């Protein structure tokens, strides 16, 4: 480097270079180091030629200022880069970005736009003197410019070098907006320092400013990413046992090294390789063959190898909820957790447009996420444990995730199940590429593992068996016998496990020999042998207890904790009171071993899903019948609820309640409160017909009576529950409800279902809010009972000594609730009665139910950051947007909007909306009114004098208090429509109004306000309509690229004009009726001869057109373009006579243009929120086609808060009317540029405004699906 180079500046440049270089591939790095600025210019020209050949020409002139700025900058900064590769890296990435994005025009536009903004922020380095370049302070600023430019290149490079970057670009780039704005702000800040010359450059201050700005953006980015991740996980709506927990549970069953044989299997080895072969493996075996353990071990092995693996273990314990939707939600969540930066894409592309994570949305989303993962493996275990009707769809949706032949990513799937027809038929029918691994055929490997398993378990039993022998011969003989018999079972780990468990209860050598010798051959036989023991007719009391246990474990709605199950089995039709004499001890559960087991969280479950499957079939010697089980469980729930009501009785002291809860007699209350309705309805559905004399109905009648008595007692001193809004239908609640319509319990069931349904419709800001809502609106006492019980449990857990409660009882209660005391407070959550071990865990879980409240305006930064609560969002929407829906602007058009944030939102702290300024009062009123300028929406209706406002039933108007009021306005007709209306147009005689919306155009009688003609259209949306001058025909154009000319009287299409390659946005008839002009997104304006219906002229530009207008004298056609300019062509010769752009032109897409009736002026409205009036100097009228028109911007109207979507002018040239995304319509004086009137008459953006040729009537159309006709008059 040169001797005069600043060390500080050199360090800044080196750090920026090394940070960027670390993200660049070696090949790209070599290319960057050898690329000259001329190479970039040549590449831009080559791309321009390629785009032109594809008829996708873009305005590459926008890149020129950026390249020129880099050239000037490079001459200034070269003193700091001599002898290094640093200099070329400020321009070399541009070449790569353009080449990679040229095939993706939306991405290409974003990059060009970004480069243009950087160019605007660069100072004029070409003006700097040579002496200034030696100044160290100035060099430090130059180095910061280098760092900022490379930071942009670094982030853009990460975009385009990512897998599937073109799919994720829009949302990912949107998330980068704030970071990019920070870079622009830094460039602008330091540009100002450069412009002040060296004597005023404060380097320390500049460094500190940049550091603070970077820290602020880092913080905002982290908060935004965290908020999006939370919202996405909430949208996915996962609940119940997490797959990670299920994986850990299964891994605990795995003998170390026992599954290594499969990991080394040739087929698995090929499956793990990133090759196109072995993309689908089906691992199958008999029940209890260890498939789940094998899959969990395989997952663990892949995680250790850093392979992207995503998994799902289906479980019979929740078979009703195990669906394709749940599977895809879980896999989607795992991918997002693995790659958190995908949360922004999911949030922007799916969460904001899909109210729920539907199956259709997930089937589209998950493949895109897997593409981003580049290489992934999916392990799906236990499909056969799902509902048989669901298995077909699960397999179908799993197979959709396999890449096609043209895909560049790798995604391989392993499916594990039994070889049952519902699985095998669908797997083999759907695909020929499945590779099978049958555990029955891998007997040698499996048998070796089983022998190790037997030996390990027998060693664990050594102490018990050792009491019966002295030399160990019995153990060795048992091991050999079990191994020999197990080998014939083809890997039946479950069979071996059950046999070994039965050995735990032997009491003699003879008994041990008998058990081993007479072991049944298969699982069904073994199950029946166990059933014969536990359901021994000779011991009826134990048999009854065993059957009650099996009923509860089979048909409870969730796995019951041990203390809940003990309460449940103690309550029977014969025993309707639970007290110290009727409770059962824990060891009663031993009678059902080894069919059941206790999980670490104390839940009692079957040892394997095949146990339940066996018990409910005719194979079992004692079948557990569904109808009997639900009867008994419903009866027990009714009993415990009646006992629980005692906790709510007035007069009962807190100490008494604590003693009762501590007794352990109410442990089933949360389960009963949540599921009593389900058990009762299921029983009613199985029975079909119930009458009041039925024992169960008599029991529930007692529940109703006790509930009503409690209601009478409590309402003596309290108001009842708040009234719920809305009346859901019986089908919305539960179709089975009608089975109870004639019974007293019906109303109680109905009210319970209703409060749950209504609670699910609400959006809460916390779990406490959800709990409060249920308590406040529940007409029954079940919510209060559950809440009261839970509060007493928490109070007991927090105390060391409770009067009247022994320490042993208190310790037992704490053990019972150690993992479940803190219950989720969202009624729709499966964990509502399951619980968590701590308030912190519950809060973390409840956060998944919370959805941050996001601004619905896609261009607003708060649409990605969001608010913690509705109040913040409501204040934000009220202050900056109002409650609006999205205007149906196609995605192709929205590309101009995606990089724009709502300027007013950027300074708001996270999660807090800026408060509305208080209405002015007293002496401050006049000053406040005088300050609003043309932003009439800032006027406060409450304090505005009466003469400056007018209110209708659902609309209001404000008049500018700074000028004399000369206007009045009234609503004439409100024309409701079924869809968003995109355009309105009057006939030339003003008698009719045409509207265009989704798939149809409608013509209204203006005087009557009635629909008289409806014309069905093929386009998704009709974006433009226009009457012929004689009023006989109507031209329509829209998304299907075809212009239709309709005979209005006949209601038939007269002509179809085809030629546009993309959507048609604008139509206009010439006043003489000889031509129709059309403009579309294909970057053309086309002129059609109405006599021949042929295209006679095509005008082209660099971008699409939103609006066109033919001049009153039929000589010119003007068009507003996506490239922010207005084009004007001479119709006689097709020559472009004026192009309105430049420093006086618009800064964003021109969405509407209109000639003034005088033909000398042109009005344009733009997405830059402004309206411009252009004075046009015409060529001599008597010499068509001569000379060039000169357009001059003579007025710019500013006052709208959002995009200007429509402009027009009254027939007398007196007023300019504009419609905006801010929902307002404003009247402007074209001579002064002052806004006189603002009408707030729509709930959404005003997308079209038209004036009647006959005067003082105008119409407005909005995205609120409403068209309104108004009359304005002199005041």
pLDDT tens figures, 510-552 = 766 776 667 776 778 888 888 888 887 777 888 888 999 999 9
Reported as a pLDDT band with limits 50, 70 and 90, residue 970 is: very high
Pairwise CA distance, residues 830 & 841, whole Å:
15
Predicted pLDDT at 921: 40
Q: Is residue 343 in some structural domain?
A: yes
pLDDT tens digits, one per residue of 511-521:
667 766 677 76
pLDDT tens digits, one per residue of 664-676:
888 899 999 999 9
Radius of gyration of the chain (CA): 38
Domain C-terminal end among 396, 413, 441: 441
- Sorted by sequence, the CB contacts under 8 Å of residue 899 that are 6+ apart come out as 110, 113, 114, 173, 174, 177, 180
Q: Is residue 568 in some structural domain?
A: yes
Predicted pLDDT at 1113: 92
Q: Is residue 816 in some structural domain?
A: yes
Predicted pLDDT at 1083: 92
- Cis status, amide bond into 594, omega within 30 of 0: yes
Q: Are 1229 and 1250 in contact (CB under 8 A)?
A: no
Domain C-terminal end among 871, 899, 916: 916
Q: Is residue 1170 in some structural domain?
A: no
The closest alpha carbon to 1248, from 1053, 1048, 977, belongs to 977
Regarding whether 587 and 702 lie in a shared domain, the answer is: no
Reported as a pLDDT band with limits 50, 70 and 90, residue 771 is: confident
Q: pLDDT: is 722 or 1214 the higher one?
A: 1214
Pairwise CA distance, residues 119 & 362, whole Å:
41
Predicted pLDDT at 158: 79
Predicted pLDDT at 905: 35
User: From the CB of residue 162, how many other CB atoms can be counted at a distance below 10 Å?
Assistant: 16
**What single-letter DSSP state applies at residue 1202?**
S
789 three-state secondary structure:
helix
Regarding whether 171 and 33 lie in a shared domain, the answer is: yes
Q: Are 1088 and 1101 in contact (CB under 8 A)?
A: no
Reported as a pLDDT band with limits 50, 70 and 90, residue 565 is: very high
Predicted pLDDT at 1126: 95
| CATH at residue 294 | 3.40.50.300
Q: Determine the average pLDDT of the residues in 631-647.
A: 92
CA angle at 177 for the pair 176 and 178, rounded to the nearest 5°: 95
Distance of CA 52 to the CA centre of its chain: 38
- Sorted by sequence, the CB contacts under 8 Å of residue 1206 that are 6+ apart come out as 1151, 1152, 1165, 1217, 1218, 1219, 1246, 1247, 1248, 1249
Q: How many helices (H) and strands (E) does the chain have?
A: 42, 38
Regarding whether 893 and 818 lie in a shared domain, the answer is: no
Give the highest mean pLDDT range of 126-140, 220-234, 768-782. 768-782
User: From the CB of residue 738, how many other CB atoms can be counted at a distance below 10 Å?
Assistant: 12
**What single-letter DSSP state applies at residue 435?**
E
Give the highest mean pLDDT range of 6-20, 317-331, 572-586, 1161-1175. 1161-1175
Regarding whether 453 and 498 lie in a shared domain, the answer is: yes
Predicted pLDDT at 206: 58
CA angle at 422 for the pair 419 and 426, rounded to the nearest 5°: 95
Pairs from 1270-1273 (Cβ < 8 Å, separation ≥ 24): 1270/969, 1270/970, 1270/971, 1270/972, 1270/1239, 1270/1241, 1271/969, 1271/970, 1271/972, 1272/967, 1272/968, 1272/969, 1272/1215, 1272/1227, 1272/1237, 1273/967, 1273/968, 1273/969, 1273/970
Predicted pLDDT at 904: 35
Residue 1138, pLDDT > 70, answer yes
Residue 260, pLDDT > 70, answer yes
pLDDT tens digits, one per residue of 677-735:
999 999 999 998 888 899 999 999 999 999 999 888 876 444 455 555 556 777 778 88
pLDDT tens digits, one per residue of 350-399:
877 666 788 888 998 998 888 888 889 999 998 888 888 788 888 889 98
Indicate the number of domains in the chain: 7
Give strand pairing partners of 1011: 1004
| CATH at residue 608 | 1.10.10
Which of 436-445, 1003-1012, 1205-1214 has the lowest average pLDDT? Answer: 436-445
Q: How far is CA 200 from CA 6, 72, 190, 212, in A?
A: 18, 22, 11, 21
Residue 975, pLDDT > 70, answer yes
Q: How far is CA 124 from CA 75, 188, 191, 589, 644, in A?
A: 12, 12, 9, 85, 81
Q: pLDDT: is 83 or 565 the higher one?
A: 565
Distance of CA 111 to the CA centre of its chain: 26
pLDDT tens digits, one per residue of 574-592:
877 777 677 788 888 888 8
Q: Quick one: which H or E segment has residue 105? A: helix 105-121
Per DSSP bridges, beta strands 1150-1155 and 1136-1140 are unpaired
Pairwise CA distance, residues 590 & 177, whole Å:
63
Q: Are 1209 and 1173 in contact (CB under 8 A)?
A: no
Predicted pLDDT at 871: 60
Q: What is the mean pLDDT of the chain?
A: 81
Pairwise CA distance, residues 436 & 281, whole Å:
6
Give the highest mean pLDDT range of 367-371, 493-497, 895-899. 367-371
Q: Is residue 616 in some structural domain?
A: yes
In 404-522, alpha helices (H): 421-430, 443-460, 462-466, 473-487, 493-502, 509-517
Q: Is residue 1152 in some structural domain?
A: no
Q: Determine the average pLDDT of the residues in 1210-1214.
A: 91
Taken as a whole, the chain contains a residue count of 1275
Distance of CA 367 to the CA centre of its chain: 16
Distance of CA 124 to the CA centre of its chain: 45
Pairwise CA distance, residues 685 & 1056, whole Å:
59
394 three-state secondary structure:
helix
Regarding whether 460 and 330 lie in a shared domain, the answer is: no
| CATH at residue 1016 | 2.130.10.10
Domain C-terminal end among 846, 876, 897: 846
Predicted pLDDT at 1047: 92
Residue 833, pLDDT > 80, answer no
Which of 238-247, 654-663, 748-757, 1063-1072 has the lowest average pLDDT? Answer: 238-247
Predicted pLDDT at 728: 73
Residue 9, pLDDT > 80, answer yes
Using a pLDDT cut of 90, give the percent of the chain over it. Answer: 28
Give strand pairing partners of 1085: 1079, 1099
Q: Is residue 461 in some structural domain?
A: yes
Predicted pLDDT at 311: 94
Q: Is residue 595 in some structural domain?
A: yes
Regarding whether 416 and 501 lie in a shared domain, the answer is: no
The closest alpha carbon to 609, from 302, 1016, 319, 996, belongs to 319
Predicted pLDDT at 727: 63
The closest alpha carbon to 1271, from 950, 1052, 962, 1010, belongs to 950
Residue 797, pLDDT > 60, answer yes
Predicted pLDDT at 870: 63
Q: Determine the average pLDDT of the residues in 223-246.
A: 77
Q: Phi and psi for 987 in degrees, rounded to 5?
A: -75, 165
Using a pLDDT cut of 70, give the percent of the chain over it. Answer: 80
Regarding whether 812 and 894 lie in a shared domain, the answer is: no
In 716-780, alpha helices (H): 730-733, 746-761, 767-777
Regarding whether 631 and 619 lie in a shared domain, the answer is: no
Reported as a pLDDT band with limits 50, 70 and 90, residue 1169 is: very high
Regarding whether 118 and 98 lie in a shared domain, the answer is: yes
pLDDT tens digits, one per residue of 1046-1060:
999 888 999 999 999
Q: Are 741 and 719 in contact (CB under 8 A)?
A: no
Per DSSP bridges, beta strands 1170-1177 and 1136-1140 are unpaired
Q: Indicate whether this model's pTM tops 0.85.
A: no
Q: Phi and psi for 540 in degrees, rounded to 5?
A: -60, -30
Q: How far is CA 1069 from CA 895, 994, 1041, 1259, in A?
A: 30, 14, 18, 19
Regarding whether 370 and 259 lie in a shared domain, the answer is: yes
Which of 50-59, 617-626, 879-888, 1122-1131 has the lowest average pLDDT? Answer: 879-888
Regarding whether 260 and 188 lie in a shared domain, the answer is: no
Pairwise CA distance, residues 1049 & 400, whole Å:
51
Reported as a pLDDT band with limits 50, 70 and 90, residue 830 is: low
Regarding whether 749 and 674 lie in a shared domain, the answer is: yes
Q: Which residues span the domain enclosing 763? A: 626-846
pLDDT tens digits, one per residue of 106-124:
777 777 877 877 777 676 5
């Amino acid at each position: 480097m040169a001797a005069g180079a600043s060390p500080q500046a050199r360090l800044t440049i080196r750090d920026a270079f090394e940070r960027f270089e670390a993200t660049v591939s070696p090949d790209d790095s070599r290319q960057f180091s050898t690329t000259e600025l001329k190479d970039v210019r040549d590449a831009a020209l080559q791309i321009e030629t390629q785009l032109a050949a594809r008829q996708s020409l873009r305005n590459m002139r926008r890149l020129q200022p950026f390249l020129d700025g880099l050239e000037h900058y490079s001459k200034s900064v070269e003193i700091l880069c001599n002898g290094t590769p640093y200099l070329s890296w400020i321009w070399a990435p541009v070449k790569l970005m353009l080449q990679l994005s040229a095939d993706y025009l939306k991405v290409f536009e974003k990059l060009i736009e970004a480069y243009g903004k950087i160019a605007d922020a660069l100072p004029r380095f070409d003006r700097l003197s040579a002496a200034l370049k030696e100044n160290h302070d100035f060099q430090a600023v130059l180095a910061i410019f280098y760092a900022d430019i490379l930071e942009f290149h670094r982030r853009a490079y990460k975009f385009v070098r990512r897998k599937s970057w073109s799919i994720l670009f829009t949302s990912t780039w949107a998330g980068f907006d704030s970071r990019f704005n920070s870079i622009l702000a830094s460039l602008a800040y330091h540009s100002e320092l450069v412009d002040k010359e060296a004597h005023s450059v404060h380097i320390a201050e500049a460094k500190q400013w940049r550091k603070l700005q970077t820290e602020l953006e880092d913080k905002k980015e982290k908060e935004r990413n965290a908020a999006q991740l939370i919202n996405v996980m909430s949208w996915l709506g996962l609940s119940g046992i997490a797959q990670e927990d299920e994986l850990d549970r299964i891994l605990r069953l795995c003998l170390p090294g026992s599954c290594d044989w499969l990991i080394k299997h040739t087929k698995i080895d090929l499956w793990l390789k990133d090759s196109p072969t072995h993309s689908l493996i089906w691992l199958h075996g008999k029940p209890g063959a260890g498939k789940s353990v094998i899959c969990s071990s395989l997952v663990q092995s892949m995680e250790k190898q850093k392979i992207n693996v995503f998994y799902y273990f289906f479980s019979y314990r929740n078979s009703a909820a195990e669906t394709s939707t749940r599977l895809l939600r879980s896999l989607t969540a795992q991918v997002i957790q693995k790659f958190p930066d995908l949360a922004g894409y999911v949030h922007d592309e799916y969460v904001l447009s899909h109210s729920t994570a539907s199956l259709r949305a997930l089937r589209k989303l998950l493949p895109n996420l897997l593409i981003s993962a580049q290489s992934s493996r999916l392990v799906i275990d236990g499909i056969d444990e799902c509902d048989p009707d669901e298995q077909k769809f699960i397999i179908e949706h799993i197979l959709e995730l396999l890449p096609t032949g043209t895909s560049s990513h790798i995604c391989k799937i392993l499916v594990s199940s039994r070889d049952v027809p519902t699985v095998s038929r669908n797997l083999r029918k759907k695909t020929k590429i499945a590779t099978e691994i049958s555990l029955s055929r891998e007997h040698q490997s499996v048998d070796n593992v089983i022998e190790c398993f037997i030996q390990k378990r027998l060693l664990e039993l050594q102490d018990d068996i050792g009491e019966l022998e002295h030399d160990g011969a019995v153990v060795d003989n048992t091991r050999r016998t079990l191994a020999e018999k197990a080998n014939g079972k083809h890997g039946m780990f479950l069979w071996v496990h059950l046999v070994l468990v039965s050995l735990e209860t032997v009491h003699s050598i003879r008994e041990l020999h008998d058990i081993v010798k007479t072991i049944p051959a298969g699982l069904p036989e073994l199950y029946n042998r166990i059933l014969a023991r536990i359901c021994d007719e000779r011991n009826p009391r134990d048999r009854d207890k065993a059957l009650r246990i099996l009923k509860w474990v089979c048909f409870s709605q969730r796995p019951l904790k041990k203390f809940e199950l003990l309460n449940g089995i103690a309550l029977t039709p014969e025993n309707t009171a639970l007290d110290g004499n009727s409770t059962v001890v824990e060891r009663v559960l031993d009678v059902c071993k080894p069919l059941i087991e206790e999980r670490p969280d104390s839940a009692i479950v079957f040892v394997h899903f095949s146990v339940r499957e066996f018990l409910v079939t005719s194979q079992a010697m004692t079948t557990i019948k569904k109808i009997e089980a639900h009867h008994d469980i419903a009866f027990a729930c009714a009993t415990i609820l009646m006992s629980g009501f005692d906790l709510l009785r007035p007069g009962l002291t807190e100490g008494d309640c604590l003693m009762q809860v501590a007794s352990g007699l109410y442990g089933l209350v949360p389960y009963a409160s949540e599921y009593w309705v389900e058990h009762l309805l299921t029983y009613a559905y199985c029975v079909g017909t119930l009458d009041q004399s039925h024992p169960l109905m008599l029991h529930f009648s007692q529940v109703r009576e006790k509930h009503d008595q409690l209601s009478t007692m409590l309402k003596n001193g309290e108001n009842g529950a708040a009234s719920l809004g809305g009346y859901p239908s019986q089908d919305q609640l539960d179709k089975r409800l009608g089975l109870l319509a004639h019974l007293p319990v019906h109303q109680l069931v109905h009210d319970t279902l209703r409060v749950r349904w209504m609670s699910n419709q609400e959006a809460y800001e916390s779990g406490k809010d959800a709990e409060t809502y249920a308590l406040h609106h529940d007409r029954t006492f079940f919510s209060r009972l559950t809440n009261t019980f839970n509060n007493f449990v928490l109070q007991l857990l927090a105390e060391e000594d409770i009067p009247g409660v022994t320490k042993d009882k208190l310790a037992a209660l704490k053990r019972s609730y150690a993992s479940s005391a803190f219950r989720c407070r969202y009624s729709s959550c499966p964990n509502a009665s399951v619980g968590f071990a701590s308030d912190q865990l519950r809060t973390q879980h409840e956060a998944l139910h919370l959805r941050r409240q996001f601004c619905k305006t896609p261009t607003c930064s708060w649409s990605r950051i969001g608010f913690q609560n509705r109040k913040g969002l409501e204040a934000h929407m009220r202050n900056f947007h109002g409650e609006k829906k999205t205007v149906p602007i196609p995605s192709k058009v929205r590309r101009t909007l995606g990089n724009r944030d709502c300027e007013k939102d950027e300074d708001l702290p996270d999660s807090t909306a800026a408060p509305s300024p208080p209405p002015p009062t007293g002496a401050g009123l006049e000053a406040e009114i005088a300050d609003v300028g043309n932003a009439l929406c800032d006027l406060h209706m409450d304090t505005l004098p009466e003469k400056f406002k007018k209110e209708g039933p659902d609309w209001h108007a404000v008049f500018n208090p700074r000028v004399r009021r000369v206007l009045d306005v009234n609503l004439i007709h409100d024309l409701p429509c079924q869809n968003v209306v995109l355009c309105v147009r009057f006939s030339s005689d003003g008698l009719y109004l045409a509207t265009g919306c989704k798939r149809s155009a409608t013509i209204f009688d203006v005087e009557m306000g009635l629909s008289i003609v409806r014309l069905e259209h093929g386009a998704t949306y009709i974006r433009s309509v226009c009457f012929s001058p004689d009023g006989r025909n109507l031209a329509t154009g829209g998304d299907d690229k075809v212009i239709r000319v309709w005979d209005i009287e006949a209601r038939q299409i007269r002509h179809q004009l085809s030629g546009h390659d993309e959507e048609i946005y604008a139509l206009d008839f010439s006043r003489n009726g000889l031509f129709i002009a059309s403009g579309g997104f294909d970057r053309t304006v086309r002129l059609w001869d109405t006599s021949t219906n042929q295209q006679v002229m095509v005008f082209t530009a660099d971008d699409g057109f939103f609006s066109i207008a033919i001049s009153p004298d039929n000589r010119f056609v003007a068009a507003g373009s996506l490239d922010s300019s207005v084009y004007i062509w001479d119709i006689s010769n097709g020559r472009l006579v004026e192009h309105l752009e430049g420093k006086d032109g618009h800064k964003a897409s021109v969405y509407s243009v209109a000639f003034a009736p005088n033909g000398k002026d042109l009005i344009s409205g733009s997405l830059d929120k402004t309206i411009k009036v252009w004075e046009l100097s015409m060529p001599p009228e008597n010499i068509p086609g001569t000379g060039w028109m000169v357009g001059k911007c003579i007025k710019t109207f500013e006052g709208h808060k959002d995009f200007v979507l429509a402009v027009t002018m009254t027939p007398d040239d007196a007023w300019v009317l504009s419609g905006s995304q801010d929902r307002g319509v404003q009247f402007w004086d074209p001579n002064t540029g002052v806004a006189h009137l603002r009408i707030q008459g729509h709930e959404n953006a005003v997308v079209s405004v038209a004036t009647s040729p006959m005067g003082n009537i105008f119409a407005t159309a909005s995205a609120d699906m409403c068209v309104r006709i108004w009359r304005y008059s002199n005041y």
